[in-house]
Amino acid sequence: MKADTKKKKLKPYLMIVGGAILVILMAFIVYRYTHSTAADIGNPIDKLLTSGGAKKVCGSTSPGNGPDSKVSGYIAYYETSLDRQQVVSLITNSANQNGFSLKHAESGSLPIPDVYVGNYYFDNTTRISSLPWAETGPVSLTFAIGNFADKDVDTSYAVSNPPCDAPNGTLRVNNDAEHVAIEMQILMPANKW
């Protein structure tokens, strides 16, 4: 009789514990498949760039869990009224404070035409990601400065702040005599699952 009473008293507790485990598991799955680790790396750099004089025009991110891509990515566009040398200093300091060591691109160092190589700064070796759900490998940070004139940004997949929403699906990023434009891209190692 006492054993039956104990079992009856344990049943509600087991159901509560089982329910709690299920809720935690579901929360992890939702977080894992909707959260962008690349945006986590990009956000502190955003703050440094904007506090240093860059105006963020828009940004977008992807958690890298779709059938088309297993790479978590983040891209953001900025305008500045700084000169080119000040922009190089701003992006270099912002990257350094976040564990990156930018290099000025040279011919063959990035998959871009040589005509643009002077506008690129990157680091794809210094910071290593070891997330359990992703391949272990380097986080890639690339900056392009002033290499596009009044770029129309595709906003169809943008999901971060400020949003890249525009009536025609594009947003103007000015790069002219009064503005130097910056593009920042972060790519994580591929997700395993």
Whether residue 12 is found in the same domain as residue 104: no
The rounded distance, in Å, linking the Cα atoms of 185 and 182 is 10
The rounded distance, in Å, linking the Cα atoms of 74 and 53 is 21
Domain count, the chain: 2
| pLDDT tens sequence across 89-142 | 999 999 999 999 999 998 888 888 888 888 999 999 999 998 887 889 999 999
Whether residue 78 is found in the same domain as residue 23: no
Whether residue 1 is found in the same domain as residue 60: no
The rounded distance, in Å, linking the Cα atoms of 137 and 130 is 7
Domain span at 5: 1-34
Could you list the pLDDT tens digit for every one of the 193 residues in the chain?
Answer: 555 666 666 677 778 888 888 888 887 766 666 778 888 999 999 999 999 999 998 888 888 877 777 888 898 889 899 999 999 999 999 999 999 999 999 888 888 888 888 899 999 999 999 888 788 999 999 999 985 544 555 444 444 444 565 555 556 677 777 888 899 999 999 888 7
Q: Are strands 120-123 and 170-173 parallel, antiparallel or unpaired?
A: unpaired
**Interhelix angle 84-96/37-51, nearest 10 degrees:** 130
Whether residue 69 is found in the same domain as residue 128: yes
Whether residue 147 is found in the same domain as residue 183: yes
Whether residue 46 is found in the same domain as residue 26: no
Whether residue 23 is found in the same domain as residue 51: no
CA-closest candidate to residue 75, choices 91, 57, 89: 57
